[in-house]
Amino acid sequence: MKENKNTRVVVGMSGGVDSSVAALLLKEQGYDVVGIFMKNWDDTDEFGVCTATEDFDDVVRVCNQLDIPYYSVNFEKQYWDKVFTYFLDEYKAGRTPNPDVMCNKEIKFKAFLDHALSLGADYLATGHYAQVARDENGSIQMLRGADDNKDQTYFLNQLSSDVLEKVMFPLGHLPKPEVRKIAADYGLVTAAKKDSTGICFIGERNFKTFLSEYLPAQPGKMMTLDGIEKGNHDGLMYYTIGQRQGLGIGGSGDPWFVVGKNLEDNYLYVAQGYHNDYLYSDSLVATDINWVQPDQIEETFTCTAKFRYRQKDSEVTVTVKDDKAYVAFKESQRAITPGQAVVFYQGDICLGGGTIDEIIKDNKALQYVG
Amino acid sequence: MEAIYLDHAATSPMARGVAEAMIPVYEEIIGNASSVHSFGRKARQQLDASRQALAASIGANEKELIFTSGGTEADNMALTGVAEANRNKGNHIITSIQEHHAALHTAEKLEKQGFRVTYLPVDEKGLVSTQDVEAALTDDTILVSIMYVNNETGVIQPISEIGELLKEHQAYFHTDAVQAYGLLDIDVHAQNIDLLTATAHKIGGPKGIGFLYANEKVAMSPIQFGGEQERKRRPGTENIPAAVGFELASNIVMETKAARNQQYEKYKQILIDTFTESGIDFGINGDPEKTVSTIINVRFPGANVEALLANFDLSGVAASSGSACTAGSVEPSHVLSAMFGSESPVTTNSIRFSFGLANTEENVKEAAERIAGIVKRLTS
């Protein structure tokens, strides 16, 4: 093993408190730390102002506080090609994509990792709440972040052990409040900076307005599954399965929810009641399957799964066949959304995950979902 | 590991003796040069002595020299000041697409204000052509602004030729000579230059001071407002210690011009020879026959500036690329885009190395070896 001072760790720094503290902890452990800011999106306005400028400025100030070198790298083109194009394609297909999963897979832990390695880095570190550990055979596994509320393995499900071999998550064992406290105790300029929310390239802007700049909206009819017209929708891409807000259907009785999309006729299907039967399913098929430790996955096994970020785990039985995972739920699930990730866990170990492709109920794929 | 500075075109260390010469000015010349008392007069005396020496360095007279905060302000003043004051004579400005942003962005601002601006192209060698200037001239043209030496490629532009061309035309001729001053012989009157920008920190002087030479015949509006300093053309209390530092740095570079050029050419050759011997793939951007001794712009096919610059820095070699930095990331250079087209890989694989006081043959050799090693690793 190299000594820490001879081990170069490139930290992906966003200008937020998490990556700032990640860099701080590594520096305190004596590593040869290099901070790198990654610019993936250009949101420069008419006055030449862009959020990246301010974020980079915070990176500069933190790195100077820590006395570590800092650089930046531009992946706008790669991000557009690999993440944003996928994002738009999924919406066009009536699904709800997860660009963060794709960004981790294609940009942060691929293009950015390669860049870090080209700078002579031994490891790439990020401020993600996840942990890397070795199992008894010495093989690398990924564990949930210790802070249950912040665990980000859901977004990291596409990473494999050979990538994780070169990755450090210095915050994985810490609860978020502790991270803030470390930042404050050290006087980091980002200590009180607000956490970023939402999809990074949309930021605080209105999602609908943003999407309409890239995809033509095609308004259509809102229907019940029995074919009763309930009003108009603004474009199928603006809605997600299980959504209640923004439908504008009044009247008596239970509230209305989105239960399906008919791309062919451009209908948005709606039904009444949070627990409406149409929102429930008993299994799903996932594609783009990644296993962190592929050699340890059996053909059929039981484990727990998350179908969206921050959801509680549910028990499932997974059958792996032809690059797909067939996932049967122990208890029926509400509002499973195609395009989102399904991520599998064995206790605290994140096994991997995939993209939700088909949703099944009573052995039949739900026609208007997915 | 010794850190080696090959970025003198960005800014240079102060020449020996300059800081020392400034300290007594800070301590002893305490008056405001505009004040009507002995302290003020003493300050004015010192300021005018520096002004005279600096004006003489380009063959100008002292009334033609306006102190500014640096090159950016001087470029801004030349373009905006001339455009505003001469609108009655015409509405057209000629410049080139490879100008420093201090001039380029000012031209763009003037365009928004209703002036018509022609941005001349450059050829693959990094040169603006005098014929293009001629072709663009109209009766409406009031200003031509072409940089003397490009800051990224070091390519020397045909300034005397353009000066000659404009002799009989109403248009004033401005040149940003920030990268030429102290290396090339400049005589503004003989070369028919009406306005010229220079700055102290590129020649071993202090940061924060520069000058704009403006021929007495040039009509120019101020761009800042306040007192009546600098013959009402540039308000603000004069920075006399910096003027003294600028004067001394200028005296030094003027006296040592020939020897330094010779030395820097040698450094350039060391770089080229080391790269050649190492077997790495590289090429030189800009006409090598028409480049100043201090600057060499090198492309490394198969590499990329972000990785190159960070690796150079991590191994103690300071260089640069492009001129614009947005959020720290290096945008493709507008100069190399102008020469090779914006899609050319040259715009994202080229590095500018620039020599100066911090260099010796030994440290240039050492840097060249480190650079070659990194390029080899990144492109193999």
Asked if the model's pLDDT at residue A182 lies above 90, the reply is yes
Mean pLDDT of B303-327: 86
Q: Closest to A72 (Cβ–Cβ): which among B314, B327, B378?
A: B327
Q: Is it the case that residue A253 has pLDDT exceeding 90?
A: no
Strand partners, B95: B119, B145
Residue B368 has pLDDT above 90, yes or no: yes
The answer to whether residue A297 is domain-embedded is: yes
Mark whether A65 and A176 lie in a shared domain. Answer: yes
Residue B149 DSSP symbol: B
Note whether residue A318 is domain-resident: yes
Percent of chain A past pLDDT 70, that is, above it, reads 99
Query: Binning pLDDT at 50, 70 and 90, where does residue B350 land?
Result: very high
Is A237 annotated to bind a ligand? Reply is no
| CB-CB under 8 Å, B330 with A50 | no
If pLDDT is split at 50, 70 and 90, which confidence band does A250 have?
A: confident
Listed residues B255, B286, B311: the one ending a domain = B255
**How close, in Å, is residue B232 to chain A by CA atoms?**
31
Shared domain check, B372 and B299: yes
Same domain, A226 and A286: no
Say whether both B231 and B265 belong to one domain: no
Contacting residues of A for B326, CB less than 8 Å apart = 39, 44, 50, 52-53
Catalytic choice (B325, B329, B360, B361): B325
Residue B327 pLDDT greater than 80, yes or no = no
Same domain, B105 and B232: yes
Ordered strands of the B210-214 beta sheet: B65-68, B210-214, B195-199, B172-176, B141-145, B92-96, B116-120
**B190 and B296 housed in the same domain:** no
Query: What span, in angstroms and rounded, lies between the C-alpha atoms of B96 and B107?
Result: 10
- For residue A233, is it within any domain? yes
* In chain A, % of residues over pLDDT 90: 84
Specify whether B169 is located in the same domain as B282: no
Q: Is it the case that residue B143 has pLDDT exceeding 80?
A: yes
In a domain, residue A316? The reply is: yes
Same domain, A248 and A320: no
Mutate to test the interface with A, among B108, B304, B311, B329 (most CBs of A within 10 A): B329
Supply the CATH number for residue A244's domain: 2.30.30.280
Q: Are residues B374 and B262 in the same domain?
A: yes
- Same domain assignment for residues A63 and A178: yes
- A192 within domain boundaries: no
Q: In this structure, what CATH number is given to the domain that contains residue A299?
A: 2.40.30.10
B313 touches chain A (CB under 8 A): yes
The domain that contains B338 carries what CATH number? 3.90.1150.10
A92 and A236: one domain?
no
Based on the fold, state whether residues A176 and A71 are members of the same structural domain: yes
Question: Do B213 and B328 belong to one domain?
Answer: no
Helix (H) or strand (E) run with residue A315 in it: strand A314-321
Domain count, chain A: 3
pLDDT over 70 at A276, yes or no = yes
> Looking at the complex, does the CB of residue B317 fall below 8 Å from at least one CB of chain A?
no
Q: Does one domain contain both A97 and A234?
A: no
Is residue A358 assigned to a domain?
yes
Give the Cβ contact number of residue A158 at 10 Å. 23
Indicate whether A21 pLDDT > 90.
Answer: yes
Residue that finishes a domain, picked among B205, B235, B255 = B255
Q: How many structural domains comprise chain B?
A: 2
CB of B328 within 8 Å of a chain A CB? The answer is yes
Pair B132, B122 in one domain: yes
How close A71 gets to chain B, by Cα (Å)? 7
Domain closes at, from B255, B272, B289? B255
Any A CB within 8 A of B347 CB? no
Q: Which residue from B minimizes the CA distance to A58?
A: B327
pLDDT tens, position by position, A109-151: 999 999 999 999 999 999 999 999 999 999 999 999 999 999 9
Contacts for B269-272: CB closer than 8 Å, 24+ residues apart: B270/B361, B270/B364, B270/B365, B270/B368, B271/B296, B271/B298, B271/B353, B271/B364, B271/B367, B271/B368, B271/B371, B272/B296
Residues B295 and B241 in one domain: no
**pLDDT recorded at residue B166:** 98
Q: Considering A272, A290, A305, which residue would you say is the last residue of a domain? A: A272
* Contact (Cβ atoms closer than 8 angstroms) between residue B79 and residue B174: yes
Is the model's pLDDT at A106 over the cut of 70? yes
Residues A334 and A238 in one domain: no
Q: In this predicted structure, what is the pLDDT of residue B326?
A: 55
CATH of the domain at B69: 3.40.640.10
The alpha-carbon gap from A188 to the nearest alpha carbon of chain B, in Å, equals 20
> Which CATH number do you get for residue A42?
3.40.50.620
Q: Is A16 annotated as a binding residue?
A: yes
**Catalytic residue (one of A50, A200, A303, A350):** A200
Per residue in B28-53, pLDDT tens? 999 999 999 999 999 999 999 999 99
Please tell me which residue of chain B has the smallest CA distance to A33. Answer: B314
| DSSP sequence for A147-188 | STTT--GGGGTT--HHHHTTEE-TTTTS-HHHHHHHHHHHT-
B296 and B173 within one domain:
no
Residue in A74, A113, A115, A122 to test binding to B, most B beta-carbons within 10 Å: A74
Work out the average pLDDT over A47-51: 73
Instruction: Specify whether B114 is located in the same domain as B245.
Output: yes
Q: How confident is the model at residue A251 (pLDDT cuts 50, 70, 90)?
A: confident
CB atoms < 10 A from the CB of A5, how many?
10
Q: Is A200 a catalytic residue?
A: yes
The pLDDT of residue B215 is 98
The answer as to whether A30 is a domain residue is yes
Chain B interface test: which of A47, A72, A114, A122 (most B C-beta within 10 Å) = A72
Which residue does chain B place closest to A51, by CA atoms? B327
* Contacts B308 to A, Cβ<8 Å: none
Q: How confident is the model at residue B328 (pLDDT cuts 50, 70, 90)?
A: low
Among the partner residues A44, A56, A120, nearest to B328 by beta-carbon distance: A56
A68 with A112, same domain? yes
Same structural domain for residues B317 and B233?
no
- In a shared domain, residues A23 and A107: yes
Q: Identify whether A144 is part of a domain.
A: no
Quick one: A179 and A52 in the same domain? yes
Q: How many CB atoms lie within 10 A of CB A362?
A: 8
Residue ranges making up the domain that contains A316: 279-365
Please tell me the distance from the alpha carbon of residue B188 to that of residue B201, in angstroms, as a whole number: 21
Q: Is the model's pLDDT at A46 over the cut of 80?
A: no
Domain that holds residue B127: 18-255
Q: Residue B76: pLDDT above 60?
A: yes
Q: Compute the distance between CA of residue A56 and CA of residue A190 in angstroms, rounded to an integer.
A: 12
Residues A252 and A287 both lie in one domain: no
* Nearest residue, CB atoms, A118 vs list B307, B327, B330: B307
Point out the least confidently predicted range of A194-208, A281-295, B306-320: A194-208
